[in-house]
Protein backbone atom coordinates (compact mmCIF):
# COMPACT_ATOMS: atom_id res chain seq x y z
CA UNK A 1 0.00 0.00 0.00
CA UNK A 2 1.44 3.36 -0.95
CA UNK A 3 0.88 6.30 1.35
CA UNK A 4 -0.85 9.51 0.29
CA UNK A 5 1.02 12.78 0.43
CA UNK A 6 1.33 13.86 4.05
CA UNK A 7 -0.84 16.81 5.07
CA UNK A 8 0.79 16.82 8.51
CA UNK A 9 4.40 15.66 8.04
CA UNK A 10 5.38 16.38 11.64
CA UNK A 11 2.38 14.73 13.28
CA UNK A 12 3.03 11.39 14.96
CA UNK A 13 0.28 9.09 16.25
CA UNK A 14 0.74 9.08 20.01
CA UNK A 15 -1.11 5.79 20.47
CA UNK A 16 -0.99 3.00 17.90
CA UNK A 17 -3.03 -0.19 18.17
CA UNK A 18 -2.23 -3.23 16.02
CA UNK A 19 -4.19 -6.36 15.12
CA UNK A 20 -1.30 -8.73 14.42
CA UNK A 21 -2.84 -11.03 11.83
CA UNK A 22 -1.35 -13.55 9.43
CA UNK A 23 0.95 -15.84 11.41
CA UNK A 24 -0.82 -19.01 10.31
CA UNK A 25 -0.96 -18.00 6.65
CA UNK A 26 2.71 -17.01 6.78
CA UNK A 27 3.56 -20.50 8.07
CA UNK A 28 1.47 -22.18 5.38
CA UNK A 29 3.01 -20.04 2.62
CA UNK A 30 6.47 -21.00 3.84
CA UNK A 31 5.72 -24.71 4.25
CA UNK A 32 5.91 -24.52 8.05
CA UNK A 33 3.62 -25.59 10.88
CA UNK A 34 1.36 -22.91 12.45
CA UNK A 35 3.48 -22.68 15.59
CA UNK A 36 6.46 -21.64 13.46
CA UNK A 37 4.33 -18.75 12.23
CA UNK A 38 3.60 -17.66 15.78
CA UNK A 39 7.31 -17.76 16.62
CA UNK A 40 8.07 -15.68 13.54
CA UNK A 41 5.37 -13.29 14.71
CA UNK A 42 7.19 -12.87 18.03
CA UNK A 43 10.28 -11.64 16.17
CA UNK A 44 8.17 -9.13 14.26
CA UNK A 45 6.60 -7.98 17.52
CA UNK A 46 9.97 -7.35 19.12
CA UNK A 47 11.08 -5.34 16.10
CA UNK A 48 7.93 -3.21 15.97
CA UNK A 49 8.01 -2.49 19.71
CA UNK A 50 11.57 -1.20 19.30
CA UNK A 51 10.69 0.76 16.15
CA UNK A 52 7.65 2.40 17.73
CA UNK A 53 9.63 3.44 20.80
CA UNK A 54 12.44 4.83 18.63
CA UNK A 55 9.94 6.94 16.67
CA UNK A 56 8.51 8.48 19.82
CA UNK A 57 5.17 6.67 20.00
CA UNK A 58 3.79 7.07 23.53
CA UNK A 59 1.62 3.94 23.65
CA UNK A 60 1.46 0.74 21.60
CA UNK A 61 -1.43 -1.69 22.10
CA UNK A 62 -1.07 -5.14 20.54
CA UNK A 63 -3.89 -7.66 20.06
CA UNK A 64 -2.09 -10.84 21.11
CA UNK A 65 -4.97 -13.24 21.86
CA UNK A 66 -8.68 -12.55 21.53
CA UNK A 67 -11.67 -13.87 23.45
CA UNK A 68 -12.63 -15.79 20.32
CA UNK A 69 -9.20 -17.40 19.98
CA UNK A 70 -10.16 -19.85 22.73
CA UNK A 71 -12.22 -21.55 20.00
CA UNK A 72 -9.08 -22.52 18.08
CA UNK A 73 -7.79 -26.13 18.21
CA UNK A 74 -6.79 -27.07 21.75
CA UNK A 75 -3.24 -27.93 20.74
CA UNK A 76 -2.73 -24.49 19.19
CA UNK A 77 -4.12 -22.67 22.22
CA UNK A 78 -1.91 -24.66 24.59
CA UNK A 79 1.09 -23.94 22.39
CA UNK A 80 0.28 -20.23 22.35
CA UNK A 81 0.00 -20.08 26.15
CA UNK A 82 3.41 -21.71 26.46
CA UNK A 83 4.85 -19.28 23.92
CA UNK A 84 3.42 -16.27 25.80
CA UNK A 85 5.05 -17.50 29.00
CA UNK A 86 8.37 -18.14 27.27
CA UNK A 87 8.40 -14.70 25.66
CA UNK A 88 7.49 -12.99 28.93
CA UNK A 89 10.32 -14.69 30.77
CA UNK A 90 12.80 -13.84 28.02
CA UNK A 91 11.80 -10.28 27.13
CA UNK A 92 10.70 -8.52 30.30
CA UNK A 93 14.24 -7.62 31.40
CA UNK A 94 15.00 -6.04 28.01
CA UNK A 95 11.73 -4.10 28.09
CA UNK A 96 12.52 -2.86 31.57
CA UNK A 97 16.06 -1.89 30.55
CA UNK A 98 14.61 0.17 27.69
CA UNK A 99 12.30 2.04 30.10
CA UNK A 100 9.14 0.52 28.58
CA UNK A 101 6.13 0.13 30.84
CA UNK A 102 4.18 -3.08 30.29
CA UNK A 103 0.46 -3.49 30.89
CA UNK A 104 -1.89 -6.38 30.14
CA UNK A 105 -5.62 -6.11 29.44
CA UNK A 106 -8.12 -8.92 29.13
CA UNK A 107 -9.83 -11.68 31.14
CA UNK A 108 -6.79 -12.78 33.16
CA UNK A 109 -8.76 -15.27 35.21
CA UNK A 110 -9.20 -17.35 32.05
CA UNK A 111 -5.44 -17.70 31.56
CA UNK A 112 -3.21 -20.42 33.06
CA UNK A 113 -2.30 -19.52 36.65
CA UNK A 114 1.44 -19.53 35.98
CA UNK A 115 0.98 -17.10 33.10
CA UNK A 116 -1.18 -14.84 35.27
CA UNK A 117 1.63 -14.63 37.83
CA UNK A 118 4.21 -13.72 35.22
CA UNK A 119 1.90 -11.08 33.73
CA UNK A 120 1.54 -9.47 37.15
CA UNK A 121 5.28 -9.70 37.78
CA UNK A 122 6.09 -8.01 34.45
CA UNK A 123 3.68 -5.17 35.24
CA UNK A 124 5.17 -4.69 38.69
CA UNK A 125 8.74 -4.76 37.40
CA UNK A 126 8.10 -2.07 34.78
CA UNK A 127 5.49 -0.01 36.66
CA UNK A 128 7.75 3.00 37.29
CA UNK A 129 9.20 3.16 33.77
CA UNK A 130 8.52 6.42 31.96
CA UNK A 131 9.06 5.44 28.33
CA UNK A 132 6.56 4.00 25.89
CA UNK A 133 3.60 2.11 27.30
CA UNK A 134 3.25 -1.37 25.82
CA UNK A 135 -0.25 -2.76 26.28
CA UNK A 136 -0.78 -6.41 25.41
CA UNK A 137 -4.37 -7.54 24.95
CA UNK A 138 -4.57 -11.20 26.00
CA UNK A 139 -7.90 -13.06 26.25
CA UNK A 140 -9.39 -9.71 25.31
CA UNK A 141 -12.55 -8.75 23.46
CA UNK A 142 -14.10 -5.35 22.88
CA UNK A 143 -17.58 -6.54 23.84
CA UNK A 144 -16.17 -8.15 27.00
CA UNK A 145 -14.47 -4.85 27.83
CA UNK A 146 -17.67 -2.83 27.48
CA UNK A 147 -19.64 -5.45 29.40
CA UNK A 148 -17.20 -5.30 32.33
CA UNK A 149 -17.53 -1.53 32.40
CA UNK A 150 -21.33 -1.66 32.30
CA UNK A 151 -21.34 -4.14 35.20
CA UNK A 152 -19.07 -1.84 37.22
CA UNK A 153 -21.40 1.10 36.58
CA UNK A 154 -24.46 -1.02 37.43
CA UNK A 155 -22.84 -1.99 40.74
CA UNK A 156 -22.37 1.69 41.61
CA UNK A 157 -26.05 2.29 40.85
CA UNK A 158 -27.08 -0.67 43.05
CA UNK A 159 -24.93 0.69 45.87
CA UNK A 160 -26.49 4.14 45.37
CA UNK A 161 -23.10 5.66 44.54
CA UNK A 162 -24.43 6.76 41.16
CA UNK A 163 -27.85 7.66 39.77
CA UNK A 164 -28.94 6.06 36.51
CA UNK A 165 -29.73 9.51 35.13
CA UNK A 166 -26.10 10.54 35.68
CA UNK A 167 -24.59 7.72 33.61
CA UNK A 168 -22.69 9.24 30.68
CA UNK A 169 -19.87 8.30 28.32
CA UNK A 170 -17.28 9.18 30.95
CA UNK A 171 -18.84 6.71 33.37
CA UNK A 172 -18.42 3.92 30.84
CA UNK A 173 -14.98 5.01 29.63
CA UNK A 174 -13.57 5.26 33.15
CA UNK A 175 -14.15 1.54 33.70
CA UNK A 176 -12.72 0.24 30.42
CA UNK A 177 -9.38 -1.53 30.17
CA UNK A 178 -7.66 1.56 28.71
CA UNK A 179 -9.23 3.98 31.19
CA UNK A 180 -7.10 7.05 31.70
CA UNK A 181 -5.26 6.62 28.41
CA UNK A 182 -5.72 8.59 25.21
CA UNK A 183 -7.53 6.38 22.67
CA UNK A 184 -5.58 5.00 19.71
CA UNK A 185 -4.95 7.56 16.98
CA UNK A 186 -4.14 4.80 14.50
CA UNK A 187 -5.31 1.20 14.22
CA UNK A 188 -3.23 -1.07 12.00
CA UNK A 189 -4.36 -4.49 10.83
CA UNK A 190 -2.00 -6.77 8.96
CA UNK A 191 -2.84 -9.86 6.93
CA UNK A 192 -5.29 -8.42 4.40
CA UNK A 193 -8.51 -8.58 6.40
CA UNK A 194 -10.60 -5.40 6.60
CA UNK A 195 -12.38 -5.70 9.94
CA UNK A 196 -11.68 -4.83 13.57
CA UNK A 197 -12.53 -8.27 15.01
CA UNK A 198 -13.93 -7.14 18.36
CA UNK A 199 -10.82 -5.13 19.28
CA UNK A 200 -11.12 -1.95 21.38
CA UNK A 201 -14.62 -1.31 20.07
CA UNK A 202 -15.22 1.72 22.28
CA UNK A 203 -11.73 3.16 22.05
CA UNK A 204 -11.31 3.18 18.26
CA UNK A 205 -14.43 5.23 17.55
CA UNK A 206 -12.30 7.94 15.91
CA UNK A 207 -9.11 6.03 15.15
CA UNK A 208 -7.71 6.12 11.63
CA UNK A 209 -7.87 2.58 10.21
CA UNK A 210 -4.96 1.24 8.17
CA UNK A 211 -5.18 -2.17 6.49
CA UNK A 212 -2.26 -3.90 4.81
CA UNK A 213 -1.91 -7.23 3.01
CA UNK A 214 1.48 -7.79 4.67
CA UNK A 215 1.38 -10.80 6.99
CA UNK A 216 2.43 -10.02 10.54
CA UNK A 217 5.77 -11.94 10.50
CA UNK A 218 6.79 -9.85 7.46
CA UNK A 219 5.68 -6.51 8.95
CA UNK A 220 8.79 -4.38 9.47
CA UNK A 221 9.98 -0.84 10.23
CA UNK A 222 9.24 0.32 6.69
CA UNK A 223 5.68 -0.99 6.93
CA UNK A 224 5.22 0.89 10.19
CA UNK A 225 6.47 4.05 8.52
CA UNK A 226 3.97 3.59 5.68
CA UNK A 227 1.17 3.32 8.24
CA UNK A 228 2.39 6.47 9.99
CA UNK A 229 2.59 8.29 6.64
CA UNK A 230 -1.01 7.23 5.97
CA UNK A 231 -2.01 8.66 9.34
CA UNK A 232 -0.28 11.92 8.51
CA UNK A 233 -2.24 12.14 5.26
CA UNK A 234 -5.57 12.07 7.07
CA UNK A 235 -7.60 15.12 8.09
CA UNK A 236 -9.00 14.23 11.50
CA UNK A 237 -12.30 16.07 11.92
CA UNK A 238 -14.01 14.39 14.93
CA UNK A 239 -17.43 15.43 13.63
CA UNK A 240 -16.42 18.94 12.56
CA UNK A 241 -16.15 20.20 8.99
CA UNK A 242 -12.81 20.34 7.23
CA UNK A 243 -12.98 24.13 7.24
CA UNK A 244 -13.43 24.17 11.02
CA UNK A 245 -10.41 21.93 11.45
CA UNK A 246 -8.24 24.10 9.24
CA UNK A 247 -9.31 27.31 10.97
CA UNK A 248 -8.54 25.74 14.34
CA UNK A 249 -5.13 24.58 13.11
CA UNK A 250 -4.33 28.08 11.86
CA UNK A 251 -4.94 29.38 15.34
Model confidence at 2, pLDDT cuts 50, 70, 90, reads: very low
Known catalytic residue: 69? yes
* Rounded Cα distance, 93 and 6, in Å: 37
Look at residues 209, 204, 202 and name the one whose alpha carbon lies nearest to residue 188.
209
pLDDT greater than 50 at residue 3:
no
Which of 8, 10, 21, 71 is the catalytic position? 21
Q: Is residue 77 part of a domain?
A: yes
DSSP state string for 92-133: HHHHHHTT-EEEEES-GGGS-HHHHHHHHHHHHHHTT--S-E
State the pLDDT at residue 242. 56
pLDDT single digits (tens) 220-230: 999 999 999 99
Of 30 and 245, which is predicted with more confidence?
Answer: 30
For the chain, what is the domain count? 1
State the pLDDT at residue 236. 79
Q: Is residue 117 part of a domain?
A: yes
What is the CATH classification number for the domain harbouring 215?
Answer: 3.40.1180.10
Q: Is residue 200 part of a domain?
A: yes
State the pLDDT at residue 1. 45
pLDDT single digits (tens) 234-244: 987 656 555 64
Q: Is residue 187 part of a domain?
A: yes
Q: Is residue 163 part of a domain?
A: no
Mean pLDDT of the chain: 92
Q: Is residue 219 part of a domain?
A: yes
Average pLDDT, stretch 54-59?
98
The domain containing residue 46 runs over which residues? 15-142+183-235
Task: Tell me the torsion sign for CA atoms 174, 210, 73, 118.
Answer: negative
State the pLDDT at residue 249. 58
The pTM of the full predicted model, rounded to 2 decimals, is: 0.91
Model confidence at 7, pLDDT cuts 50, 70, 90, reads: low
Contacts with 40 (C-beta within 8 Å, 6 or more apart), sequence order: 23, 26, 27, 217
Which of 47, 69, 98, 129 is the catalytic position? 69
pLDDT single digits (tens) 168-212: 999 999 999 999 999 999 999 999 999 999 999 999 999 999 999
Across the chain, where does the E strand assignment appear?
A: 15-19, 59-66, 101-105, 133-140, 186-189, 208-211
Known catalytic residue: 145? no
Contacts with 225 (C-beta within 8 Å, 6 or more apart), sequence order: none
Look at residues 179, 227, 177 and name the one whose alpha carbon lies nearest to residue 207.
227
Q: Is residue 225 part of a domain?
A: yes
Q: Is residue 246 part of a domain?
A: no
State the pLDDT at residue 239. 63
* Rounded Cα distance, 208 and 188, in Å: 8
Amino acid sequence: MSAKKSQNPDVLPQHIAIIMDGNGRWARANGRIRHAGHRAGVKATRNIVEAAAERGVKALTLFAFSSENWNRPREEVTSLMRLFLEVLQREVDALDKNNIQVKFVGARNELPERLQKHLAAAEKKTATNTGMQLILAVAYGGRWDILQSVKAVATKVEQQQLKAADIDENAIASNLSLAGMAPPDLLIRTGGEHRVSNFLLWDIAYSELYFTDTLWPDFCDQDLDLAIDFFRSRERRFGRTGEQVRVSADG
